Amino acid sequence: MKLKNDVEALDALRDKFQNLLDEITTVIYGQDKVITEVLVSLFSRGHVLLIGVPGLAKTLMVTTIAKILGLKYNRIQFTPDLMPSDIIGTEILDKERQFRFVKGPLFANIILADEINRTPPKTQSALLEAMQEQAVTSAGQRFELESPFFVLATQNPIEQEGTYPLPEAQLDRFMFSVWLDYPRYEDEIIIVKNTTSNLLFELKPVITGQEIIFYQQLIRKIPINDNVLNYAVTLAAKTRPGNGMAAGIAEQYLKWGAGPRASQYLVIGAKTHAALHGKYSPDIEDVKAVAPSILRHRIIKNYKAEAENISVEQIIEELI
């Protein structure tokens, strides 16, 4: 890092983050932890899978964040009959009898993929390829997507009839799997009071797309101490049964552990978490802060864990 300039830029990022939080929480109340994880993922160039029952303001949260970031936003409602061309785009024959590519809703900065598990694997794969490559292919031509590009997919955990659950290999493309829980009673009182009155919130953009790209690059330049790096990689390795480094609880209750992508996300997530909270280098606490949402969808329990009713959260807590 060019120390003086980059330190000033990191200070500015911390202030921007606080401004973003202040602005978002005027509309979304009682979900500060979830909002922080969404913003950590955004600045880390990751994507988020948001799991929660209906009515917890998942869609409102994404719409609010898109407005405050001043970015182009599209919502795609995933249904069983949705085809890859419906989200990527398709070629049409124009008046001059020439084929022309018409861009689909994926060509935006922020994509809300609503109920991603309601659509068949073919369409899920088209979205996941776009997330990985930040580009789509149609009729043999490659089209770059806009930058920054951020996908927030939602999943409903209670209605499983007629769904196509994401395979583990595809879940791995998401940086975070965030569980959105019911609000606390006191928070729900305020939510109901605000949403059943004629209160209007005027949202103003806090940060531009170019600034986001700048901060994404800046975060990757943040130095990390070897002991923190080793802790992150060791934490991922401890989830892998049979590799000689696995923790006792992993050997006992896990079928599969987290892959190398988890180690990468633990490090970049810790860097981002540190930067957003005013630190110039991450420590082990930053790794611990992002670990649950990074590991949650990357470890697979065995039959013994199912039989003994051991949750993924309990295993992660023990590992950390």
pLDDT at 89 over 90: no
Question: Which is it for the CA torsion 35, 279, 134, 149, positive or negative?
Answer: positive
Residue 40's pLDDT band, with cuts at 50, 70 and 90, is very high
Long-range contacts of 194-199 (CB under 8 A, 24+ apart): 194/29
pLDDT of 133-170, one tens digit each? 888 887 778 888 888 999 998 887 766 666 777 877 77
Q: Which domains does the chain have, with CATH numbers?
A: 3-210 (3.40.50.300), 222-319 (1.10.8.80)
pLDDT of 57-88, one tens digit each? 777 788 888 888 878 889 999 888 989 888 98
By the 8 A CB rule, do 222 and 281 touch? Answer: yes
pLDDT of 107-130, one tens digit each? 999 999 888 888 888 888 888 888
Before 148, cis peptide (omega within 30)?
A: yes
Say how far apart CA 314 and CA 141 lie, in whole Å: 46
Say how far apart CA 52 and CA 58 lie, in whole Å: 8
Task: Write the burial class of residue 226 (CB in 10 Å: 0-12 exposed, 13-18 middle, 19+ buried).
Answer: exposed
Q: Residue with structure tokens 């896990």?
A: 254
> Does the predicted TM-score (pTM) go above 0.75?
yes
Exposed e or buried b per residue across 177-197, where buried means at least 16 C-beta atoms within 10 angstroms of its C-beta: bbebeebeeeeeeebeeeeee
R_g of the chain, CA atoms, integer Å: 21
Identify the pLDDT of residue 235: 93
Distance of CA 227 to the CA centre of its chain: 26
